[in-house]
Structure 1
Amino acid sequence: MKSLESDGHEAKQTIPAPAQLFQQLIVPQNIETTRKFYATNDELIEDIAYAYRGVIRQLYDAGCRTIQFDDCTWGAIVGDAAAQRYKSLGLSLDVVKNQLLHVNNLAIEGKPADLQINTHICRGNYHSTYFTSGPYDSVADYVFARENVNTLYLEYDDERSGGFEPLSKVSADKVVVLGLITSKSPKLEDKATVIARIKEATKYIPLERLKLSPQCGFASCDVGNKLTAFSVLSAIAKEQLLESVK
């Protein structure tokens, strides 16, 4: 990765969030196998975090200074089916949210001071589709307020993500990257509309702590999204709009 960096730019490494692995191991279809090795979720969390701390240190020692957690768990737990899914395991959503938060924070614990760790809350991006909907309100007190990352990348390209009110819960040490530019459709957003949405977000978080980006990757899977090269470049150009907000 270092060989691909140009002058004045640093490559970042993206990896699945610790919570992503934890969540996959405790879903109903996997929990029976997981219990053969881990009697409790607390034991599982300790081992996942330990492994991640090792990987994070190896990446840092190799020269990496920015790591991004790609985390689908927070987007999934706001969906209507989440409560029923975990109820079958005898877990309340509040318990699961605390465990997701704990495994991520435990993995980050002790990181070097000059290592930036960010997280992207993903809602699915397979070939211009999605897998979950729901506002951030029910998870804001956890991931927005208490997850020890530097930056939150949040999908906000359509009504599935709800309003900006939960941004008031973001702790003062975090930057928020608003994913207002869709990566799912070749239709470009109206400039005035994007600027208006940024101004709306500033009711809940100061402009100086806001950035702008696509809501997710342009090609999160091998088949990519239903986009042309021109629409991708045009969407990237739209990211400069933040400078127009006064």
Structure 2
Amino acid sequence: MTVAYETGRRTETPFRFDNVGSFLRPDTLKDARKSFAAGTISRENLQSVEDEVIKDLISKQKEVGLKAITDGEFRRSWWHLDFMWGLQGVEKEDVDKGYQFKDEETRAETARLSGRISGENHPFIEHFKFVKQFEEEGVVARQTIPAPAQFLTELERPENKAATEAIYPDRNELLEDIAAAYQTFIRELYEAGCRNLQIDDCTWGLLVDENFWKSLSDNVSVEDLSRKHVDLNNKAIEGHPEDLTITTHVCRGNYHSTWASSGAYDKVAEVLFGEEDVKAYYLEFDTERAGGFESLAKVSDGKLVVLGLFSSKFPDLEDKEEIKGRIEQASKYIPKERLCISPQCGFASTEEGNILTEEEQWKKLALVREVAEEVWGK
């Protein structure tokens, strides 16, 4: 894979100053979603509110200097489940327990199979088209979706396993249909004008967490699961158009300013950084829970890394000189011209959002831009 880059600012995605995608939902949107759930406004009324707040959000993204714009995931409740619910053969289901984060449990919802999986006519295509109209010179519309491996992990949760195996007694057929559904979605997204797709993947954060392995049998290894995940992800994006930039974002959970897993990238670095067929990695590096930068030496030639050195979980602004020092540390393992910076994750992976204000959110992004310009130039 060859990648064009400048030693200074970048003119294509990922950009030196970048963002993972989601933003805090404004109160007007939260109120509209509650009214829709209560049946007091129509789907059309809700969409009208969504359209207006997304327009405002895009204006603010441009004002702060972002060159890759998103809808902030404002039409979603979850960063991942809404996409899964939009696939054919998948239904929204309530479950007994939500995902367990540090000292907090999420809402208890999941995606469960009701039939064979396919990817045509996904609602996210229209969502992307709305953002696409606000592109301009030097500004590209980005679409974010959960990774195929993330979808597989959801379908194999204990509460979903029976439904999955009833429809797919042959696991290889399940993997083939997941990959095919993603290929269909990516093709339709490309036809809608998308040239920047970000695949969000928390499965790698699980694979490096020691607590995750306590629930698994002894005959499963991190190498085995790493191989299965990267093979599925690669199969799903296989054959995509050359001018479609596909990147991936890896983190350890982001819900209401809490986290779900811990562990350095070292155990998965050789497979993830060496073999996943993406152009760049957006990586969590805002706390010691992500380990050091040594694993970046495993990133294969030509790929870029967006260092998530800033926390989207808290309003406190990072020290600029400390951040610059960490960029220098990372550059010992991967050249600085292949590095960019961003928050470690979005500001609202779910509609609850992290514990900071919208004003604090924009101040955080302004700081990221300031550091990027001081390190790589305007």
Query: Structure 2 length normalisation: TM-score?
Result: 0.62
Name which structure has the greater RCO, CA cutoff 8 Å, separation 6+: 2
3-state SS in 2 of match to 1:139: helix
Q: Which residue of the other structure, out of 295, 298, 306, is the alignment partner of 1:166?
A: 295
Q: Which amino acid aligns with 2:166?
A: K
- CA apart distance, 1:244: 2.9
Distance 2:375 2:142 in 1: 27
Q: Which residue of the other structure, out of 316, 319, 343, is the alignment partner of 1:187?
A: 316
Q: Which residue of the other structure, out of 227, 231, 234, is the alignment partner of 1:105?
A: 234
CA offsets 1:64-108 (integer angstroms, 9 cap, x no match): 0011111111111111122233327x5333221111111100011
**Residues 1:134 and 2:271 are matched in the alignment:** no
Residue 114 of structure 1 aligns with which residue? 243
Distance 1:70 1:163 in 2: 21
Q: Which residue of the other structure, out of 335, 339, 364, is the alignment partner of 1:206?
A: 335
Distance 2:142 2:187 in 1: 14
Distance 1:29 1:229 in 2: 36
Written as runs of structure 1 = structure 2, the 5 A alignment for 1:68-87 is: 68-87=198-217
3-state SS in 2 of match to 1:85: coil
Number of residues of Structure 1 aligned to a counterpart in Structure 2: 245
Distance 2:262 2:136 in 1: 37
Distance 1:205 1:41 in 2: 38
Residue 33 of structure 1 aligns with which residue? 163
**Residues 1:54 and 2:212 are matched in the alignment:** no
Runs of at least 5 residues in structure 1 that lack an aligned partner in the other structure: none
Q: Which runs of 4+ in 1 moved over 4 A?
A: none
Residue 195 of structure 2 aligns with which residue? 65
Distance 1:4 1:245 in 2: 29
Distance 1:132 1:69 in 2: 19
Residue 157 of structure 1 aligns with which residue? 286
CA offsets 1:23-55 (integer angstroms, 9 cap, x no match): 122233433332222234322211100110000
3-state SS in 2 of match to 1:113: coil
Cα 1:91/1:33, change in 2 over 3 Å: farther
**Residues 1:12 and 2:139 are matched in the alignment:** no
Runs of at least 5 residues in structure 2 that lack an aligned partner in the other structure: 1-130
- CA apart distance, 1:155: 0.5
Distance 1:229 1:95 in 2: 42
3-state SS in 2 of match to 1:35: helix
Residue 239 of structure 1 aligns with which residue? 368
Contact 2:273 2:299 in 1 (8 A): yes
Q: Which amino acid aligns with 1:25?
A: L
Q: Which residue of the other structure, out of 322, 325, 330, is the alignment partner of 1:196?
A: 325
Contact 2:222 2:267 in 1 (8 A): no
Q: Supply the RMSD in Å over aligned alpha carbons.
A: 1.6
Contact 1:122 1:216 in 2 (8 A): yes
Written as runs of structure 1 = structure 2, the 5 A alignment for 1:213-224 is: 213-224=342-353
Query: Which sits farther off after the overlay, 223-232 or 209-218?
Result: 223-232
Q: Which amino acid aligns with 1:70?
A: D
Distance 1:216 1:202 in 2: 21
Query: Which sits farther off after the overlay, 43-52 or 207-216?
Result: 43-52
Contact 1:179 1:213 in 2 (8 A): yes
**Residues 1:176 and 2:289 are matched in the alignment:** no
3-state SS in 2 of match to 1:224: coil
CA offsets 1:138-160 (integer angstroms, 9 cap, x no match): 11011111000111000100111
3-state SS in 2 of match to 1:197: helix
